[in-house]
Chains A and B, each alone.
Chain A
Amino acid sequence: MLKVFKYSFLDLMRNRWTLGYFLFFAFSTFGLLYLSGDSSKVVISTMNIIILLVPLVSLIYGQMYLYQVRDYVEILLAQPISRQAIFGGYYLALASALSISLLLGLCIPILIVQPEGFVANGWLSLLAISAILTFVFIGIACNLVLRFDNRLKGFGVGLFVWLFLAIIYDGLILVVMLLFENYPLENASLILTLLNPIDAGRVLLIFQLDYSALMGFTGAVFAKFFGTLVGSVVLTFGFGMWLFIPLMQLMRKAKRKDF
Protein backbone atom coordinates (compact mmCIF):
# COMPACT_ATOMS: atom_id res chain seq x y z
CA MET A 1 0.00 0.00 0.00
CA LEU A 2 2.83 2.40 0.88
CA LYS A 3 4.45 1.93 -2.53
CA VAL A 4 1.27 2.92 -4.36
CA PHE A 5 0.85 5.76 -1.87
CA LYS A 6 4.36 7.08 -2.49
CA TYR A 7 4.05 7.40 -6.26
CA SER A 8 0.46 8.57 -6.25
CA PHE A 9 1.31 11.21 -3.64
CA LEU A 10 4.18 12.40 -5.84
CA ASP A 11 1.83 12.55 -8.83
CA LEU A 12 -0.76 14.51 -6.82
CA MET A 13 1.67 16.98 -5.30
CA ARG A 14 2.79 17.95 -8.82
CA ASN A 15 -0.79 18.47 -9.92
CA ARG A 16 -1.74 22.08 -10.57
CA TRP A 17 -5.11 21.64 -8.87
CA THR A 18 -3.40 20.69 -5.62
CA LEU A 19 -1.30 23.83 -5.85
CA GLY A 20 -4.41 25.87 -6.68
CA TYR A 21 -6.18 24.46 -3.61
CA PHE A 22 -3.25 25.51 -1.42
CA LEU A 23 -3.09 28.98 -2.97
CA PHE A 24 -6.84 29.53 -2.56
CA PHE A 25 -6.71 28.88 1.19
CA ALA A 26 -3.45 30.76 1.62
CA PHE A 27 -4.78 33.88 -0.11
CA SER A 28 -8.23 33.81 1.50
CA THR A 29 -6.84 33.29 5.02
CA PHE A 30 -4.21 35.95 4.44
CA GLY A 31 -6.84 38.34 3.10
CA LEU A 32 -9.21 37.75 6.02
CA LEU A 33 -6.43 38.19 8.57
CA TYR A 34 -5.26 41.35 6.88
CA LEU A 35 -8.76 42.80 6.73
CA SER A 36 -9.99 41.95 10.25
CA GLY A 37 -6.75 41.68 12.16
CA ASP A 38 -8.42 39.43 14.76
CA SER A 39 -7.60 35.74 14.42
CA SER A 40 -10.70 34.60 16.40
CA LYS A 41 -13.01 36.31 13.90
CA VAL A 42 -11.03 34.87 11.02
CA VAL A 43 -11.54 31.36 12.44
CA ILE A 44 -15.31 31.73 12.10
CA SER A 45 -15.11 33.14 8.56
CA THR A 46 -12.62 30.45 7.51
CA MET A 47 -14.81 27.81 9.14
CA ASN A 48 -17.74 28.86 6.98
CA ILE A 49 -15.60 28.52 3.87
CA ILE A 50 -14.12 25.19 4.98
CA ILE A 51 -17.39 23.58 6.06
CA LEU A 52 -18.82 24.04 2.56
CA LEU A 53 -15.76 23.91 0.35
CA VAL A 54 -13.63 21.09 1.80
CA PRO A 55 -16.31 18.39 1.37
CA LEU A 56 -17.13 19.65 -2.14
CA VAL A 57 -13.54 19.85 -3.36
CA SER A 58 -12.60 16.53 -1.71
CA LEU A 59 -15.50 14.80 -3.44
CA ILE A 60 -15.07 16.33 -6.88
CA TYR A 61 -11.27 16.39 -6.99
CA GLY A 62 -11.15 12.87 -5.51
CA GLN A 63 -13.56 11.61 -8.15
CA MET A 64 -11.74 13.39 -10.99
CA TYR A 65 -8.42 11.88 -9.99
CA LEU A 66 -9.79 8.41 -9.37
CA TYR A 67 -11.71 8.27 -12.64
CA GLN A 68 -8.41 9.08 -14.31
CA VAL A 69 -6.76 6.30 -12.25
CA ARG A 70 -9.43 3.91 -13.52
CA ASP A 71 -7.95 4.35 -17.00
CA TYR A 72 -4.59 2.90 -16.02
CA VAL A 73 -5.40 0.85 -12.93
CA GLU A 74 -5.16 -2.31 -15.09
CA ILE A 75 -1.38 -1.90 -15.16
CA LEU A 76 -1.32 -1.98 -11.36
CA LEU A 77 -3.88 -4.79 -11.15
CA ALA A 78 -1.57 -6.88 -13.35
CA GLN A 79 1.17 -6.68 -10.69
CA PRO A 80 1.52 -9.13 -7.79
CA ILE A 81 -0.17 -6.89 -5.20
CA SER A 82 -3.64 -6.96 -3.69
CA ARG A 83 -6.46 -4.68 -4.75
CA GLN A 84 -6.80 -3.45 -1.19
CA ALA A 85 -3.19 -2.27 -1.32
CA ILE A 86 -3.82 -0.41 -4.59
CA PHE A 87 -7.01 1.38 -3.58
CA GLY A 88 -5.88 1.89 0.03
CA GLY A 89 -2.76 3.56 -1.37
CA TYR A 90 -4.79 5.88 -3.59
CA TYR A 91 -7.16 6.77 -0.75
CA LEU A 92 -4.27 7.66 1.55
CA ALA A 93 -2.42 9.60 -1.13
CA LEU A 94 -5.43 11.67 -2.13
CA ALA A 95 -6.52 12.43 1.43
CA SER A 96 -2.97 13.29 2.53
CA ALA A 97 -2.16 15.46 -0.50
CA LEU A 98 -5.37 17.48 -0.11
CA SER A 99 -5.02 17.73 3.68
CA ILE A 100 -1.43 18.91 3.41
CA SER A 101 -2.17 21.61 0.84
CA LEU A 102 -5.19 22.75 2.86
CA LEU A 103 -3.32 22.77 6.20
CA LEU A 104 -0.35 24.61 4.71
CA GLY A 105 -2.73 27.10 3.12
CA LEU A 106 -4.28 27.81 6.53
CA CYS A 107 -1.14 27.66 8.66
CA ILE A 108 1.33 29.75 6.68
CA PRO A 109 -0.70 33.01 6.75
CA ILE A 110 -1.56 32.79 10.46
CA LEU A 111 2.03 31.94 11.39
CA ILE A 112 3.22 34.95 9.44
CA VAL A 113 0.57 37.46 10.52
CA GLN A 114 -0.40 36.39 14.06
CA PRO A 115 1.73 33.51 15.35
CA GLU A 116 0.41 34.02 18.91
CA GLY A 117 -3.18 33.45 17.69
CA PHE A 118 -2.30 30.02 16.32
CA VAL A 119 -2.63 28.03 19.54
CA ALA A 120 -5.58 30.06 20.85
CA ASN A 121 -9.00 30.74 19.34
CA GLY A 122 -9.71 27.23 18.05
CA TRP A 123 -7.29 27.26 15.12
CA LEU A 124 -6.03 23.79 15.99
CA SER A 125 -9.60 22.44 16.10
CA LEU A 126 -10.24 24.05 12.73
CA LEU A 127 -7.18 22.35 11.27
CA ALA A 128 -8.14 18.97 12.75
CA ILE A 129 -11.72 19.21 11.46
CA SER A 130 -10.53 20.23 7.98
CA ALA A 131 -8.27 17.18 7.81
CA ILE A 132 -11.00 14.83 9.12
CA LEU A 133 -13.54 16.17 6.61
CA THR A 134 -11.01 15.68 3.80
CA PHE A 135 -10.44 12.03 4.77
CA VAL A 136 -14.19 11.38 5.15
CA PHE A 137 -15.12 12.84 1.77
CA ILE A 138 -12.19 11.27 -0.09
CA GLY A 139 -13.44 7.94 1.32
CA ILE A 140 -16.90 8.68 -0.07
CA ALA A 141 -15.39 9.75 -3.43
CA CYS A 142 -13.45 6.46 -3.71
CA ASN A 143 -16.64 4.51 -3.06
CA LEU A 144 -18.59 6.44 -5.67
CA VAL A 145 -15.91 5.87 -8.32
CA LEU A 146 -15.91 2.12 -7.74
CA ARG A 147 -19.69 2.01 -7.54
CA PHE A 148 -20.45 4.01 -10.72
CA ASP A 149 -18.60 3.22 -13.94
CA ASN A 150 -20.53 6.00 -15.64
CA ARG A 151 -18.63 9.18 -14.74
CA LEU A 152 -21.57 11.52 -15.15
CA LYS A 153 -23.67 9.42 -12.81
CA GLY A 154 -20.78 9.28 -10.33
CA PHE A 155 -20.31 13.05 -10.33
CA GLY A 156 -24.09 13.57 -10.12
CA VAL A 157 -24.40 11.37 -7.05
CA GLY A 158 -21.29 13.01 -5.56
CA LEU A 159 -22.80 16.47 -5.93
CA PHE A 160 -26.06 15.25 -4.44
CA VAL A 161 -24.24 13.75 -1.42
CA TRP A 162 -22.55 17.11 -0.86
CA LEU A 163 -25.76 19.07 -1.34
CA PHE A 164 -27.61 16.76 1.02
CA LEU A 165 -25.05 16.80 3.84
CA ALA A 166 -24.10 20.47 3.53
CA ILE A 167 -27.48 22.07 2.90
CA ILE A 168 -30.58 19.84 2.66
CA TYR A 169 -29.82 18.01 5.93
CA ASP A 170 -29.96 21.27 7.90
CA GLY A 171 -33.28 22.09 6.28
CA LEU A 172 -34.64 18.69 7.29
CA ILE A 173 -33.49 19.20 10.89
CA LEU A 174 -35.28 22.55 10.87
CA VAL A 175 -38.49 20.91 9.59
CA VAL A 176 -38.27 18.26 12.32
CA MET A 177 -37.75 20.97 14.93
CA LEU A 178 -40.78 22.92 13.73
CA LEU A 179 -43.02 19.87 13.50
CA PHE A 180 -42.17 18.68 17.01
CA GLU A 181 -41.65 22.04 18.66
CA ASN A 182 -43.86 21.07 21.59
CA TYR A 183 -41.49 18.30 22.61
CA PRO A 184 -38.04 18.53 24.20
CA LEU A 185 -35.77 18.12 21.18
CA GLU A 186 -32.37 18.97 22.61
CA ASN A 187 -31.09 15.38 22.69
CA ALA A 188 -32.68 14.54 19.34
CA SER A 189 -31.04 17.53 17.69
CA LEU A 190 -27.74 16.54 19.23
CA ILE A 191 -28.00 13.04 17.74
CA LEU A 192 -29.10 14.38 14.36
CA THR A 193 -26.15 16.76 14.33
CA LEU A 194 -23.66 14.02 15.11
CA LEU A 195 -25.01 11.88 12.26
CA ASN A 196 -23.74 14.40 9.72
CA PRO A 197 -19.94 14.96 9.71
CA ILE A 198 -20.28 18.50 8.32
CA ASP A 199 -22.72 19.54 11.05
CA ALA A 200 -20.71 17.79 13.75
CA GLY A 201 -17.61 19.69 12.64
CA ARG A 202 -19.43 23.00 12.52
CA VAL A 203 -21.06 22.60 15.94
CA LEU A 204 -17.83 21.43 17.54
CA LEU A 205 -16.04 24.53 16.26
CA ILE A 206 -18.80 26.86 17.37
CA PHE A 207 -18.52 25.48 20.90
CA GLN A 208 -14.75 25.71 20.88
CA LEU A 209 -15.20 29.39 20.15
CA ASP A 210 -17.82 29.99 22.89
CA TYR A 211 -20.54 31.11 20.54
CA SER A 212 -22.97 28.64 22.14
CA ALA A 213 -24.82 31.39 23.98
CA LEU A 214 -26.29 32.42 20.63
CA MET A 215 -28.13 29.08 20.46
CA GLY A 216 -30.22 29.51 23.63
CA PHE A 217 -31.19 26.47 25.68
CA THR A 218 -30.17 24.00 22.95
CA GLY A 219 -26.80 25.70 22.98
CA ALA A 220 -26.52 25.11 26.71
CA VAL A 221 -27.33 21.40 26.27
CA PHE A 222 -24.79 21.16 23.45
CA ALA A 223 -22.15 23.00 25.46
CA LYS A 224 -22.71 20.72 28.45
CA PHE A 225 -22.52 17.64 26.24
CA PHE A 226 -19.31 18.65 24.48
CA GLY A 227 -17.73 19.52 27.81
CA THR A 228 -18.08 16.00 29.21
CA LEU A 229 -15.95 12.94 28.61
CA VAL A 230 -18.98 11.11 27.18
CA GLY A 231 -19.42 13.97 24.71
CA SER A 232 -15.84 13.72 23.50
CA VAL A 233 -16.07 9.93 23.23
CA VAL A 234 -19.34 10.10 21.28
CA LEU A 235 -17.95 12.76 18.98
CA THR A 236 -14.76 10.79 18.32
CA PHE A 237 -16.88 7.70 17.72
CA GLY A 238 -19.11 9.60 15.28
CA PHE A 239 -16.17 10.88 13.23
CA GLY A 240 -14.52 7.46 13.51
CA MET A 241 -17.57 5.81 11.96
CA TRP A 242 -17.56 8.33 9.12
CA LEU A 243 -13.92 7.46 8.44
CA PHE A 244 -14.21 3.73 9.02
CA ILE A 245 -17.43 2.80 7.17
CA PRO A 246 -16.53 4.31 3.75
CA LEU A 247 -13.03 2.80 4.02
CA MET A 248 -14.36 -0.68 4.83
CA GLN A 249 -16.92 -0.41 2.07
CA LEU A 250 -14.14 0.63 -0.34
CA MET A 251 -12.03 -2.41 0.58
CA ARG A 252 -15.01 -4.73 0.18
CA LYS A 253 -15.97 -3.27 -3.19
CA ALA A 254 -12.36 -3.27 -4.46
CA LYS A 255 -12.02 -6.96 -3.65
CA ARG A 256 -15.09 -8.00 -5.62
CA LYS A 257 -15.17 -5.63 -8.56
CA ASP A 258 -14.57 -6.65 -12.18
CA PHE A 259 -12.21 -4.28 -13.98
Chain B
Amino acid sequence: MIEFQNIQKKFGKQQVLKSIDLKLEEPAIYAILGPNGSGKTTLIKSLMGMVKINEGKISFNGKTLAGDDYRKQISYLPQIARFPENLSANEFFSLIENLRGPAQRKQEAIKWFGVEEFLDKTLRNLSGGMRQKINLVSCLMYDSPIVVLDEPSIGLDPVAMIALKKWILEERAKGKHILLCSHLMDLVQELADEVIFLMNGVVHFKGNIQKLLEETGAHNLESAIAQFLISKKPSHAQSI
Protein backbone atom coordinates (compact mmCIF):
# COMPACT_ATOMS: atom_id res chain seq x y z
CA MET B 1 0.00 0.00 0.00
CA ILE B 2 1.20 3.50 -0.87
CA GLU B 3 0.04 6.01 1.71
CA PHE B 4 0.19 9.79 1.45
CA GLN B 5 -0.45 11.39 4.85
CA ASN B 6 -1.22 15.07 5.21
CA ILE B 7 1.00 16.10 2.29
CA GLN B 8 1.44 19.86 2.08
CA LYS B 9 3.59 21.81 -0.31
CA LYS B 10 4.03 25.51 -0.83
CA PHE B 11 5.96 27.19 -3.65
CA GLY B 12 6.59 30.65 -2.26
CA LYS B 13 3.18 31.89 -1.18
CA GLN B 14 1.27 29.48 -3.38
CA GLN B 15 -0.05 26.40 -1.59
CA VAL B 16 0.06 23.73 -4.30
CA LEU B 17 -0.84 20.69 -2.19
CA LYS B 18 -3.25 21.24 0.69
CA SER B 19 -3.17 18.35 3.12
CA ILE B 20 -3.45 15.39 0.77
CA ASP B 21 -4.44 12.11 2.38
CA LEU B 22 -4.49 9.16 0.02
CA LYS B 23 -4.33 5.42 0.45
CA LEU B 24 -3.57 3.34 -2.62
CA GLU B 25 -4.24 -0.02 -1.02
CA GLU B 26 -4.54 -2.67 -3.70
CA PRO B 27 -2.02 -3.07 -6.50
CA ALA B 28 -3.87 -1.49 -9.44
CA ILE B 29 -3.69 1.24 -12.08
CA TYR B 30 -4.43 4.60 -10.47
CA ALA B 31 -4.99 7.54 -12.80
CA ILE B 32 -4.25 10.96 -11.35
CA LEU B 33 -6.37 13.55 -13.14
CA GLY B 34 -7.00 17.24 -12.79
CA PRO B 35 -6.80 20.53 -14.65
CA ASN B 36 -3.49 22.27 -15.33
CA GLY B 37 -1.87 23.47 -12.13
CA SER B 38 -3.95 21.18 -9.92
CA GLY B 39 -0.89 19.62 -8.28
CA LYS B 40 -0.68 16.25 -10.13
CA THR B 41 2.97 16.53 -11.05
CA THR B 42 3.88 17.99 -7.65
CA LEU B 43 2.22 15.01 -5.96
CA ILE B 44 4.14 12.54 -8.13
CA LYS B 45 7.38 14.44 -7.67
CA SER B 46 6.93 14.45 -3.92
CA LEU B 47 6.68 10.65 -4.08
CA MET B 48 9.98 10.64 -6.01
CA GLY B 49 11.63 13.07 -3.57
CA MET B 50 12.17 15.63 -6.34
CA VAL B 51 9.91 18.07 -4.56
CA LYS B 52 10.61 18.47 -0.86
CA ILE B 53 7.27 18.48 0.98
CA ASN B 54 6.66 20.96 3.81
CA GLU B 55 4.48 18.62 5.87
CA GLY B 56 3.39 15.01 5.94
CA LYS B 57 4.89 11.68 5.02
CA ILE B 58 4.69 9.08 2.29
CA SER B 59 5.03 5.38 2.99
CA PHE B 60 5.07 2.14 1.02
CA ASN B 61 4.00 -1.08 2.74
CA GLY B 62 4.30 0.65 6.12
CA LYS B 63 7.83 1.97 5.56
CA THR B 64 8.28 5.75 5.36
CA LEU B 65 10.02 6.75 2.15
CA ALA B 66 13.20 8.65 3.02
CA GLY B 67 16.80 8.84 1.83
CA ASP B 68 17.75 7.84 -1.72
CA ASP B 69 17.66 4.05 -1.74
CA TYR B 70 13.88 3.68 -1.73
CA ARG B 71 13.79 4.88 -5.32
CA LYS B 72 15.01 1.40 -6.36
CA GLN B 73 11.42 0.34 -5.77
CA ILE B 74 10.02 2.89 -8.22
CA SER B 75 10.20 3.03 -12.02
CA TYR B 76 9.58 6.63 -13.05
CA LEU B 77 8.82 7.96 -16.50
CA PRO B 78 9.30 11.74 -16.70
CA GLN B 79 7.00 13.88 -18.80
CA ILE B 80 9.68 15.30 -21.09
CA ALA B 81 11.87 12.89 -23.05
CA ARG B 82 15.22 14.74 -23.04
CA PHE B 83 18.62 13.11 -22.69
CA PRO B 84 22.37 13.85 -22.77
CA GLU B 85 22.63 14.84 -26.42
CA ASN B 86 25.94 13.29 -27.38
CA LEU B 87 25.36 9.84 -25.92
CA SER B 88 23.86 6.93 -27.82
CA ALA B 89 20.73 5.16 -26.52
CA ASN B 90 22.90 2.22 -25.48
CA GLU B 91 25.25 4.47 -23.51
CA PHE B 92 22.28 6.17 -21.88
CA PHE B 93 20.86 2.80 -20.74
CA SER B 94 24.23 1.82 -19.33
CA LEU B 95 24.40 5.17 -17.47
CA ILE B 96 21.07 4.32 -15.81
CA GLU B 97 22.26 0.77 -15.08
CA ASN B 98 25.45 2.11 -13.57
CA LEU B 99 23.45 4.28 -11.20
CA ARG B 100 20.74 1.81 -10.37
CA GLY B 101 22.12 -1.67 -10.95
CA PRO B 102 21.53 -4.12 -13.81
CA ALA B 103 18.09 -3.94 -15.43
CA GLN B 104 16.17 -7.19 -15.26
CA ARG B 105 14.25 -6.72 -18.51
CA LYS B 106 16.39 -4.53 -20.72
CA GLN B 107 16.44 -6.72 -23.83
CA GLU B 108 12.75 -7.52 -23.45
CA ALA B 109 11.80 -3.83 -23.22
CA ILE B 110 14.08 -2.90 -26.14
CA LYS B 111 12.36 -5.51 -28.33
CA TRP B 112 8.90 -4.67 -27.04
CA PHE B 113 9.11 -1.02 -28.04
CA GLY B 114 11.13 -1.71 -31.19
CA VAL B 115 14.16 0.45 -30.43
CA GLU B 116 16.81 -2.06 -31.60
CA GLU B 117 17.56 -0.13 -34.79
CA PHE B 118 18.51 3.12 -33.11
CA LEU B 119 20.43 1.82 -30.11
CA ASP B 120 23.71 3.15 -31.43
CA LYS B 121 22.41 6.44 -32.80
CA THR B 122 23.23 9.66 -30.98
CA LEU B 123 20.21 10.73 -28.94
CA ARG B 124 20.40 14.24 -30.40
CA ASN B 125 19.43 12.87 -33.80
CA LEU B 126 16.29 11.01 -32.70
CA SER B 127 12.74 12.19 -33.35
CA GLY B 128 10.24 12.95 -30.56
CA GLY B 129 8.51 9.57 -30.84
CA MET B 130 11.81 7.67 -30.81
CA ARG B 131 12.95 9.63 -27.77
CA GLN B 132 9.74 8.73 -25.95
CA LYS B 133 10.37 5.06 -26.71
CA ILE B 134 13.89 5.37 -25.26
CA ASN B 135 12.32 7.08 -22.25
CA LEU B 136 9.86 4.18 -21.84
CA VAL B 137 12.58 1.54 -22.11
CA SER B 138 14.81 3.32 -19.55
CA CYS B 139 11.89 3.32 -17.12
CA LEU B 140 10.26 -0.04 -17.79
CA MET B 141 13.43 -2.13 -18.04
CA TYR B 142 13.33 -2.38 -14.22
CA ASP B 143 10.96 -4.77 -12.48
CA SER B 144 9.91 -2.47 -9.61
CA PRO B 145 6.80 -2.78 -7.42
CA ILE B 146 5.76 0.84 -8.14
CA VAL B 147 5.53 2.30 -11.65
CA VAL B 148 4.95 6.04 -12.11
CA LEU B 149 4.11 7.19 -15.63
CA ASP B 150 3.79 10.92 -16.35
CA GLU B 151 2.15 11.38 -19.78
CA PRO B 152 3.51 8.13 -21.26
CA SER B 153 1.67 8.41 -24.59
CA ILE B 154 3.24 11.68 -25.88
CA GLY B 155 4.50 11.29 -29.46
CA LEU B 156 3.84 7.55 -29.72
CA ASP B 157 2.61 5.97 -32.95
CA PRO B 158 -0.39 3.58 -32.77
CA VAL B 159 1.80 0.47 -32.76
CA ALA B 160 3.87 1.74 -29.85
CA MET B 161 0.70 2.89 -28.08
CA ILE B 162 -0.79 -0.63 -28.26
CA ALA B 163 2.52 -2.08 -27.04
CA LEU B 164 2.53 0.38 -24.11
CA LYS B 165 -1.03 -0.46 -23.07
CA LYS B 166 -0.29 -4.17 -23.22
CA TRP B 167 2.85 -3.70 -21.12
CA ILE B 168 0.96 -1.65 -18.50
CA LEU B 169 -1.78 -4.28 -18.26
CA GLU B 170 0.81 -7.02 -17.83
CA GLU B 171 2.44 -5.00 -15.05
CA ARG B 172 -0.91 -4.76 -13.30
CA ALA B 173 -1.39 -8.51 -13.61
CA LYS B 174 1.95 -8.93 -11.79
CA GLY B 175 0.49 -7.05 -8.81
CA LYS B 176 2.14 -3.64 -9.13
CA HIS B 177 1.01 -0.21 -8.05
CA ILE B 178 0.86 1.87 -11.23
CA LEU B 179 0.33 5.64 -11.09
CA LEU B 180 -0.66 7.18 -14.39
CA CYS B 181 -0.91 10.86 -15.27
CA SER B 182 -2.40 11.52 -18.69
CA HIS B 183 -4.48 14.04 -20.57
CA LEU B 184 -5.74 11.31 -22.90
CA MET B 185 -9.06 10.37 -21.37
CA ASP B 186 -9.49 7.40 -23.74
CA LEU B 187 -6.26 5.91 -22.40
CA VAL B 188 -7.32 6.49 -18.81
CA GLN B 189 -10.78 5.03 -19.39
CA GLU B 190 -9.29 1.96 -21.01
CA LEU B 191 -6.64 1.29 -18.37
CA ALA B 192 -7.43 2.84 -15.02
CA ASP B 193 -8.95 0.86 -12.17
CA GLU B 194 -9.27 3.92 -9.99
CA VAL B 195 -9.35 7.64 -10.66
CA ILE B 196 -7.98 10.29 -8.31
CA PHE B 197 -9.21 13.75 -9.21
CA LEU B 198 -7.13 16.65 -7.94
CA MET B 199 -8.03 20.32 -8.11
CA ASN B 200 -6.35 23.27 -6.40
CA GLY B 201 -4.21 20.87 -4.41
CA VAL B 202 -7.13 18.95 -2.90
CA VAL B 203 -8.39 15.44 -3.71
CA HIS B 204 -11.99 15.90 -4.91
CA PHE B 205 -12.69 12.35 -5.93
CA LYS B 206 -11.22 8.90 -5.47
CA GLY B 207 -12.93 5.81 -6.76
CA ASN B 208 -13.51 3.71 -9.84
CA ILE B 209 -14.63 5.12 -13.17
CA GLN B 210 -18.14 3.63 -12.84
CA LYS B 211 -18.64 5.52 -9.57
CA LEU B 212 -17.45 8.77 -11.18
CA LEU B 213 -19.82 8.30 -14.13
CA GLU B 214 -22.73 7.63 -11.76
CA GLU B 215 -21.95 10.64 -9.58
CA THR B 216 -21.74 13.02 -12.51
CA GLY B 217 -24.37 11.38 -14.74
CA ALA B 218 -21.97 11.54 -17.70
CA HIS B 219 -21.62 8.88 -20.38
CA ASN B 220 -17.84 8.88 -20.62
CA LEU B 221 -14.82 9.94 -18.60
CA GLU B 222 -14.12 13.07 -20.60
CA SER B 223 -17.55 14.57 -19.99
CA ALA B 224 -17.49 13.36 -16.38
CA ILE B 225 -14.30 15.35 -15.79
CA ALA B 226 -15.80 18.36 -17.57
CA GLN B 227 -18.90 18.10 -15.36
CA PHE B 228 -16.67 17.92 -12.32
CA LEU B 229 -14.78 21.02 -13.34
CA ILE B 230 -18.01 22.93 -13.97
CA SER B 231 -19.51 21.99 -10.63
CA LYS B 232 -16.36 22.83 -8.65
CA LYS B 233 -15.34 25.92 -10.55
CA PRO B 234 -18.33 28.07 -11.60
CA SER B 235 -16.18 30.56 -13.53
CA HIS B 236 -14.95 27.71 -15.71
CA ALA B 237 -18.48 26.91 -16.86
CA GLN B 238 -18.78 29.83 -19.21
CA SER B 239 -15.58 29.04 -21.01
CA ILE B 240 -16.47 25.38 -21.61
* Nearest CB on A from B63, distance (A): 15
B236 beta carbon closer than 8 Å to chain A: no
Category for how many chain B residues contact A: 20 to 34
B4 beta carbon closer than 8 Å to chain A: no
B85 beta carbon closer than 8 Å to chain A: yes
Q: Which residue of B lies closest to A257 (CB)?
A: B52
A1-42 interface with B by 8 A CB criterion: 3-4, 6-8, 10-12, 14-15
Are B69 and A80 in touch, CB under 8 angstroms? yes
Are A11 and B84 in touch, CB under 8 angstroms? yes
Q: Which of B92-100, B157-165, B220-228 contacts A (4 or more CB under 8 A)?
A: B92-100
Known: A3-B99, A7-B95, A258-B50. A78 touches B78 (CB 8 A): yes
Which residues from A are CB-within-8-Å of B232?
none
Category for how many chain A residues contact B: 20 to 34
Known: A71-B82, A72-B82, A72-B84. A80 touches B99 (CB 8 A): yes
Are A72 and B71 in touch, CB under 8 angstroms? no
Known: A71-B82, A72-B83, A76-B99. A256 touches B69 (CB 8 A): no
Q: Which residue of B lies closest to A259 (CB)?
A: B50
A69-83 interface with B by 8 A CB criterion: 69, 71-72, 74-82
A100-132 interface with B by 8 A CB criterion: none
Are A15 and B86 in touch, CB under 8 angstroms? yes
Q: Which residue of B lies closest to A74 (CB)?
A: B78
Are B95 and A3 in touch, CB under 8 angstroms? yes
Alpha-carbon distance A12/B11, docked complex (angstroms): 33
B51 beta carbon closer than 8 Å to chain A: yes
Which residues from A are CB-within-8-Å of B83?
72, 75
Apart from A11-B86, A69-B84, 16 more pairs, CB < 8 Å: A3-B95, A72-B84, A74-B80, A75-B83, A75-B135, A75-B138, A76-B99, A78-B48, A79-B99, A80-B68, A80-B71, A80-B72, A80-B100, A82-B68, A258-B11, A258-B51
Could you tell me which A residues sit within 8 Å of B by CB distance?
3-4, 6-8, 10-12, 14-15, 68-69, 71-72, 74-82, 256, 258-259
Instruction: Return 20 A-B CB contacts under 8 Å, by A number.
Output: A7-B84, A7-B87, A7-B91, A7-B95, A8-B84, A11-B84, A12-B86, A15-B85, A72-B80, A72-B82, A74-B78, A75-B76, A76-B99, A78-B48, A78-B76, A79-B99, A81-B68, A258-B11, A258-B51, A259-B45
Could you tell me which B residues sit within 8 Å of A by CB distance?
11, 45, 48-52, 68-72, 74, 76, 78, 80, 82-87, 91, 95-96, 98-100, 135, 138
